[in-house]
Copies of this chain bind each other. A is one copy, B any other.
Amino acid sequence: MSLRHALLALLTARPMTGYELAKQFDASVTYLWHAPHSQIYPELRRLESEGLVTATVVPRGMKAVKRNYSLTEAGQEELVRWVNEVQELPQTRDAAYMKATYFEFGSYDNALRQFEAHFNYYADQKRFWESHVQDLANKRTALIQTRLANASPDEHDAIVAYKVHAYRGLVDRARAEMRWAREGIALVKELMKHHEQLPESPAGSPRP
Protein backbone atom coordinates (compact mmCIF):
# COMPACT_ATOMS: atom_id res chain seq x y z
CA MET A 1 0.00 0.00 0.00
CA SER A 2 2.30 2.77 -1.19
CA LEU A 3 -0.39 4.80 -2.89
CA ARG A 4 -1.85 6.10 0.34
CA HIS A 5 1.56 7.05 1.65
CA ALA A 6 2.45 8.83 -1.54
CA LEU A 7 -0.74 10.84 -1.13
CA LEU A 8 -0.01 11.61 2.49
CA ALA A 9 3.52 12.66 1.56
CA LEU A 10 2.26 15.00 -1.16
CA LEU A 11 -0.09 16.59 1.32
CA THR A 12 2.80 17.50 3.62
CA ALA A 13 3.65 20.25 1.12
CA ARG A 14 0.20 21.82 1.17
CA PRO A 15 -3.52 20.96 1.11
CA MET A 16 -4.71 19.90 -2.32
CA THR A 17 -7.82 18.75 -4.13
CA GLY A 18 -8.02 15.29 -5.63
CA TYR A 19 -7.43 16.74 -9.04
CA GLU A 20 -4.33 18.63 -7.94
CA LEU A 21 -3.01 15.50 -6.27
CA ALA A 22 -3.57 13.55 -9.45
CA LYS A 23 -1.67 16.23 -11.40
CA GLN A 24 1.23 16.23 -8.94
CA PHE A 25 1.26 12.47 -9.20
CA ASP A 26 1.51 12.61 -12.95
CA ALA A 27 4.32 15.11 -12.71
CA SER A 28 6.57 13.21 -10.35
CA VAL A 29 5.53 10.27 -8.19
CA THR A 30 3.98 8.47 -11.12
CA TYR A 31 7.45 7.63 -12.38
CA LEU A 32 8.17 5.90 -9.08
CA TRP A 33 4.74 4.61 -8.25
CA HIS A 34 2.16 4.84 -10.97
CA ALA A 35 -1.50 5.35 -10.14
CA PRO A 36 -4.36 6.55 -12.34
CA HIS A 37 -6.90 9.03 -11.03
CA SER A 38 -9.49 6.27 -10.79
CA GLN A 39 -7.42 4.86 -7.98
CA ILE A 40 -6.64 8.18 -6.33
CA TYR A 41 -10.18 9.46 -5.74
CA PRO A 42 -11.44 6.39 -3.87
CA GLU A 43 -8.21 6.18 -1.89
CA LEU A 44 -8.66 9.77 -0.72
CA ARG A 45 -12.16 8.92 0.47
CA ARG A 46 -10.77 5.97 2.37
CA LEU A 47 -8.04 8.10 3.95
CA GLU A 48 -10.71 10.58 4.95
CA SER A 49 -12.90 7.92 6.54
CA GLU A 50 -9.85 6.69 8.48
CA GLY A 51 -9.12 10.19 9.72
CA LEU A 52 -5.70 10.45 8.05
CA VAL A 53 -6.84 13.42 5.97
CA THR A 54 -9.69 15.89 6.30
CA ALA A 55 -11.61 17.35 3.41
CA THR A 56 -13.19 20.76 3.21
CA VAL A 57 -15.81 21.09 0.55
CA VAL A 58 -15.23 24.08 -1.70
CA PRO A 59 -17.80 25.24 -4.28
CA ARG A 60 -16.73 25.31 -7.90
CA GLY A 61 -19.03 27.26 -10.20
CA MET A 62 -22.71 27.43 -9.37
CA LYS A 63 -23.56 23.83 -8.59
CA ALA A 64 -20.52 21.61 -8.37
CA VAL A 65 -18.09 21.24 -5.48
CA LYS A 66 -14.52 20.07 -4.98
CA ARG A 67 -12.86 18.65 -1.92
CA ASN A 68 -9.71 20.17 -0.55
CA TYR A 69 -7.74 17.59 1.38
CA SER A 70 -5.29 18.28 4.15
CA LEU A 71 -3.17 16.05 6.33
CA THR A 72 -4.31 15.40 9.90
CA GLU A 73 -2.02 14.65 12.79
CA ALA A 74 -2.98 10.99 12.53
CA GLY A 75 -1.99 11.18 8.85
CA GLN A 76 1.43 12.60 9.73
CA GLU A 77 1.92 9.87 12.32
CA GLU A 78 0.96 7.21 9.82
CA LEU A 79 3.47 8.65 7.34
CA VAL A 80 6.24 8.53 9.94
CA ARG A 81 5.24 5.00 10.95
CA TRP A 82 5.46 3.87 7.34
CA VAL A 83 8.82 5.54 6.75
CA ASN A 84 10.27 3.81 9.80
CA GLU A 85 8.97 0.40 8.87
CA VAL A 86 11.33 -1.85 6.94
CA GLN A 87 9.20 -3.46 4.28
CA GLU A 88 9.83 -6.76 2.64
CA LEU A 89 11.01 -6.23 -0.87
CA PRO A 90 8.55 -7.54 -3.43
CA GLN A 91 9.45 -10.63 -5.35
CA THR A 92 10.63 -9.96 -8.86
CA ARG A 93 8.02 -9.85 -11.56
CA ASP A 94 9.56 -8.80 -14.81
CA ALA A 95 7.65 -9.69 -17.93
CA ALA A 96 10.33 -8.41 -20.31
CA TYR A 97 13.13 -10.50 -18.83
CA MET A 98 10.87 -13.50 -18.55
CA LYS A 99 9.96 -13.26 -22.20
CA ALA A 100 13.62 -12.81 -23.09
CA THR A 101 14.38 -16.24 -21.62
CA TYR A 102 12.03 -17.71 -24.23
CA PHE A 103 13.12 -15.82 -27.35
CA GLU A 104 14.07 -19.15 -28.91
CA PHE A 105 10.37 -19.63 -29.64
CA GLY A 106 10.41 -16.58 -31.92
CA SER A 107 12.55 -15.40 -34.79
CA TYR A 108 15.84 -13.53 -34.50
CA ASP A 109 14.10 -10.50 -35.92
CA ASN A 110 11.57 -10.66 -33.16
CA ALA A 111 14.26 -10.79 -30.51
CA LEU A 112 15.86 -7.72 -32.09
CA ARG A 113 12.56 -5.88 -32.11
CA GLN A 114 11.93 -6.70 -28.47
CA PHE A 115 15.36 -5.54 -27.36
CA GLU A 116 14.99 -2.36 -29.40
CA ALA A 117 11.64 -1.58 -27.80
CA HIS A 118 13.23 -2.17 -24.41
CA PHE A 119 16.06 0.20 -25.26
CA ASN A 120 13.75 2.94 -26.49
CA TYR A 121 11.48 2.70 -23.52
CA TYR A 122 14.30 3.14 -21.04
CA ALA A 123 15.91 5.86 -23.14
CA ASP A 124 12.68 7.81 -22.69
CA GLN A 125 12.52 7.07 -18.99
CA LYS A 126 16.12 8.11 -18.59
CA ARG A 127 15.45 11.46 -20.24
CA PHE A 128 12.56 12.14 -17.91
CA TRP A 129 14.38 11.03 -14.78
CA GLU A 130 17.47 13.05 -15.67
CA SER A 131 15.47 16.22 -16.12
CA HIS A 132 13.65 15.48 -12.90
CA VAL A 133 16.94 15.15 -11.05
CA GLN A 134 17.95 18.55 -12.43
CA ASP A 135 14.65 20.11 -11.38
CA LEU A 136 15.00 18.72 -7.88
CA ALA A 137 18.65 19.63 -7.44
CA ASN A 138 17.90 23.20 -8.54
CA LYS A 139 14.67 23.29 -6.51
CA ARG A 140 12.86 24.19 -9.66
CA THR A 141 9.50 22.46 -9.08
CA ALA A 142 6.61 24.24 -7.37
CA LEU A 143 6.09 21.30 -5.05
CA ILE A 144 9.62 21.10 -3.70
CA GLN A 145 9.51 24.83 -3.04
CA THR A 146 6.36 24.70 -0.90
CA ARG A 147 7.68 21.58 0.79
CA LEU A 148 10.91 23.38 1.72
CA ALA A 149 9.04 26.48 2.83
CA ASN A 150 7.22 24.33 5.39
CA ALA A 151 10.35 22.67 6.75
CA SER A 152 13.09 23.94 9.01
CA PRO A 153 16.10 25.18 6.98
CA ASP A 154 18.55 22.63 8.40
CA GLU A 155 16.42 19.89 6.90
CA HIS A 156 16.50 21.32 3.38
CA ASP A 157 19.67 19.49 2.39
CA ALA A 158 18.27 16.12 3.39
CA ILE A 159 14.88 16.69 1.77
CA VAL A 160 16.49 17.44 -1.57
CA ALA A 161 19.33 14.94 -1.26
CA TYR A 162 17.10 11.92 -0.61
CA LYS A 163 14.94 12.71 -3.61
CA VAL A 164 17.91 13.33 -5.85
CA HIS A 165 19.44 10.04 -4.71
CA ALA A 166 16.30 8.09 -5.54
CA TYR A 167 15.81 9.61 -8.98
CA ARG A 168 19.52 9.24 -9.77
CA GLY A 169 19.15 5.59 -8.90
CA LEU A 170 16.41 5.35 -11.48
CA VAL A 171 18.64 7.02 -14.05
CA ASP A 172 21.28 4.38 -13.34
CA ARG A 173 18.68 1.70 -13.62
CA ALA A 174 17.57 3.02 -17.00
CA ARG A 175 21.19 3.03 -18.11
CA ALA A 176 21.54 -0.61 -17.03
CA GLU A 177 18.41 -1.57 -18.95
CA MET A 178 19.72 0.16 -22.05
CA ARG A 179 23.01 -1.70 -21.71
CA TRP A 180 21.14 -4.98 -21.29
CA ALA A 181 19.14 -4.32 -24.44
CA ARG A 182 22.27 -3.35 -26.41
CA GLU A 183 24.03 -6.52 -25.30
CA GLY A 184 20.91 -8.47 -26.21
CA ILE A 185 21.03 -7.06 -29.72
CA ALA A 186 24.70 -7.97 -29.99
CA LEU A 187 23.89 -11.48 -28.80
CA VAL A 188 21.17 -11.97 -31.39
CA LYS A 189 23.50 -10.78 -34.16
CA GLU A 190 26.11 -13.28 -32.98
CA LEU A 191 23.55 -16.08 -33.04
CA MET A 192 22.46 -15.05 -36.54
CA LYS A 193 26.04 -15.19 -37.81
CA HIS A 194 26.56 -18.67 -36.38
CA HIS A 195 23.30 -19.82 -37.82
CA GLU A 196 24.16 -18.68 -41.34
CA GLN A 197 27.28 -20.79 -41.16
CA LEU A 198 25.20 -23.93 -40.64
CA PRO A 199 23.10 -24.05 -43.80
CA GLU A 200 20.83 -26.92 -42.67
CA SER A 201 17.44 -25.49 -41.84
CA PRO A 202 15.86 -26.34 -38.50
CA ALA A 203 12.53 -28.09 -38.18
CA GLY A 204 12.19 -28.94 -34.51
CA SER A 205 10.54 -26.56 -32.09
CA PRO A 206 7.81 -24.09 -32.94
CA ARG A 207 8.99 -21.14 -34.96
CA PRO A 208 6.51 -19.05 -36.96
A contact set with B: CB distance below 8 Å: 2, 5-6, 9, 12, 29-34, 76-77, 79-80, 82-84, 86-87, 89-107, 110-111, 113-114, 117-118, 121, 125, 150-152, 154-155, 157-159, 161-163, 165-167, 169-170, 172-173, 176, 179-180, 183-184, 187, 191, 194-195, 198, 200, 202-208
Contacts and interface: CB of A to CB of B under 8 A. Distances in A.
10 closest Cβ contacts across the A-B interface?
A: A152-B204, A34-B91, A83-B106, A169-B180, A101-B166, A100-B166, A103-B162, A83-B105, A32-B98, A104-B159
Q: How many chain copies does the complex carry?
A: 2
- The prevalent SS among residues of A at the interface is helix
Contacts of A184: 165
Given A86-B117, A96-B87, A104-B158, A77 B32 contact: no
- Among A84, A99, A114, max chain B CB count under 10 A is at A99
Contacts of A117: 86, 89
Contacts of A101: 9, 32, 162-163, 166-167
